[in-house]
Structure 1
Amino acid sequence: MRAGDNKGQSLRVQIFEKLKNRIEAGTWEVGSKFPSENQLCNEYNVSRVTIRAAIQQLEAVGLVQTHQGGRTVVVRTHVRGAVSVLNPLQISNHEINIVKVLEYRMVVEKGTIGLAVQHITEDDLIALEEIFNMMLVHHDDIKKFSQADYLFHRKIAESSKNEILIQANQGIEEVLSSTMDTIVSLLGCAIGIRYHRLLLAALRVHDKATCEQLMEEHLQATIDGIKNFLEISKDPKEDQGE
């Protein structure tokens, strides 16, 4: 992991890697039931939050699937290369991976928040505060956290009061919300909490330059985190051309 990443995130990645390696080694066959959270907590001597996050990462890369009631099943036994790790989405028959989506967001959202800071109302700020509180409450529930994370960025777009930006955001809502799920599953909640707190404070004082700088830093940190995760997860055989 990069210097400065928190220990919880590092441990989550370690457990994910161990479980992924065991799945790829055939410890559990396709269709078989995955061990329960309690079993894995005892085996690896880590918290339920760490195990749950690792399982959500396994689900994000397509190795397992969790059903209603908490039952998790192995659905694949191998992840091939970076494209599979990113679980690419289909838009008009073109594959777009998460890094490409984040690069798009870097261009658009930096400008969007610069516009939003000039038009944001007190009601908008109250709504953003409520969404941020949802993120804090659900910091140990990746699905609910990612939903709140997406809503925070959508609300900034709405605060721009620019109908074209708002409609453009709505037009790719499925892509943005789906990639947010995977981003949070892979990187955890720390980056989102840190930058959303700072963004909210800068919006409250209508500091345009700081808002734009923070949004750029936020998305760049996310891009760097995803690229770092891909390096960790990369299949060594891919480098050998096999």
Structure 2
Amino acid sequence: MTPSVDSAAVPPRGQRVRETIAQLRQRIMAGEWQVGSRIPTEPQLVEALGVGRNTVREAVRALAHAGVLECRQGSGTYVVSTDELAPVVARRLTEDRTAEVVEVRRAFEVEAARLAARRRTPEDLAALDGALDAREAAWRGGRVAEFVTADAALHTAVVAAAHNAMLAELYASIGTAIRSTVAEAMGDALTPERHVDHARLVAAIRAGDEEWAAREASAFLEPSPGA
């Protein structure tokens, strides 16, 4: 005889969707799926999460609407933000508010550099070295788009080395605005007068010198005269 199923033990559809959204968000926040990476396919998510296709589809759609995921036709679904704050910030920090982006960067990055000098681990230093090398290689190659991405990766590595989860989340929320302002500053070509050496910033963090690190982080984010 087939045992009866207690209907109360089966969560309603809305609850299943909410739980699935929470699971997807948790994996993103934990770094299992990095910003810019493609998440597993729908069948893979169905198997991994133990829910139906419609539930997965609705959860993904909700996170896409919130600006966390982006569905790209013929390519898959990608992580574009770690939380719902990013698209809100991106709308606020439009291209005509470059000065505000720089001020917010300064507030975050100077303190991040100070904390990184205090808390960096050997793994953090290795990540910083790799990011710095990639940034310099992109510069030498004259590859503007690659340089903008590598520059953002280096600054993100500094923030990660601060080991402050809230700071990292807030910084990630302005990532698109930062890349936009850097790309605008670089223009169509990487010219010598636009180069900013970040080797001293990494050296200061490695040395554990908090004040030096803070000075280096703030040096290239000084407001323009009269700003």
TM-score, normalization: structure 1?
A: 0.50
Question: 1:155-234 to 2 correspondence within 5 Å?
Answer: 155-185=157-187, 188=190, 190=192, 194-220=196-222, 223-224=223-224
Query: Counterpart of 2:107?
Result: 107
Structure 1's 127 and 94: CA in aligned 2 closer, same or farther, altered over 3 A?
closer
Counterpart residue identity of residue 209, structure 1: E
- Answer whether contact 2:204 2:213 (CA < 8 A) is retained: yes
Please tell me whether the aligned partners of residues 118 and 206 of structure 1 are also in contact (alpha carbons under 8 angstroms).
Answer: yes
User: Per-residue CA shift, 1:164-192, capped at 9, x if unaligned?
Assistant: 10110122222122222222227946577
The aligned residue for residue 52 of structure 1 is none
Retained in 2: the 8 A contact 1:142–1:184? yes
Note closer, same or farther for the CA distance 1:112–1:101 as it changes in structure 2 (3 Å cut): same
Q: Name stretches of at least 5 consecutive residues in structure 1 with no aligned partner.
A: 1-88, 228-242
Q: How does 1:127-146 map to 2 (within 5 A)?
A: 127-139=127-139, 140-146=142-148
**Deviation string for 1:168-227 (max 9, x for gaps)?**
01222221222222222279465775431110111111111101111111211xx449x8
Summarize the alignment of residues 15-30 of structure 1 with structure 2, pairs less than 5 Å apart: none
Give the Å deviation of 1:105: 1.1
Question: What is the distance in 2 between the residues matched to 1:93 and 1:99?
Answer: 9
Distance 2:115 2:175 in 1: 20
5+ residue gaps, structure 2, are: 1-88
CA distance in 1, matches of 2:112, 2:125: 15
Q: Give the structure 2 partner of residue 240 of structure 1.
A: none
Counterpart Cα distance in 2 of 1:135 and 1:93: 25
Contact 2:94–2:177 at 8 Å: present in 1 too?
Answer: no
The one-letter code of the counterpart of 2:160 is E
Q: Are the counterparts in 1 of residues 90 and 174 from structure 2 also a CA contact under 8 Å? A: no
Letter in 1 for 2:197: Y
* 1:117, distance to aligned residue in structure 2 (A): 1.1
RMSD: 2.8
Q: Is the 8 A contact 1:90 1:96 kept in 2?
A: no
- Give the Å deviation of 1:122: 1.0
In structure 1, C-alpha distance between the alignment counterparts of 2:103 and 2:151, rounded to whole Å: 17
Change (3 A) 1:218 1:187: farther
Q: Secondary structure at the match of 2:187?
A: helix
Q: Is 2:95 aligned against 1:121?
A: no
Once residues 148 and 169 of structure 1 are traced to their aligned partners in structure 2, the CA distance between those partners, rounded to angstroms, is 16
CA distance in 2: counterparts of 1:101 and 1:170, whole angstroms: 13
Greater mean alpha carbon deviation, residues 166-175 or residues 95-104:
95-104
Q: In the alignment, is the contact (CA less than 8 A) between 1:146 and 1:181 conserved in 2?
A: yes
Answer with 1 or 2: which has the greater Rg.
Answer: 2
Specify whether residues 190 and 111 from structure 1 end up closer, same or farther in structure 2 by C-alpha distance, changes over 3 A only: farther
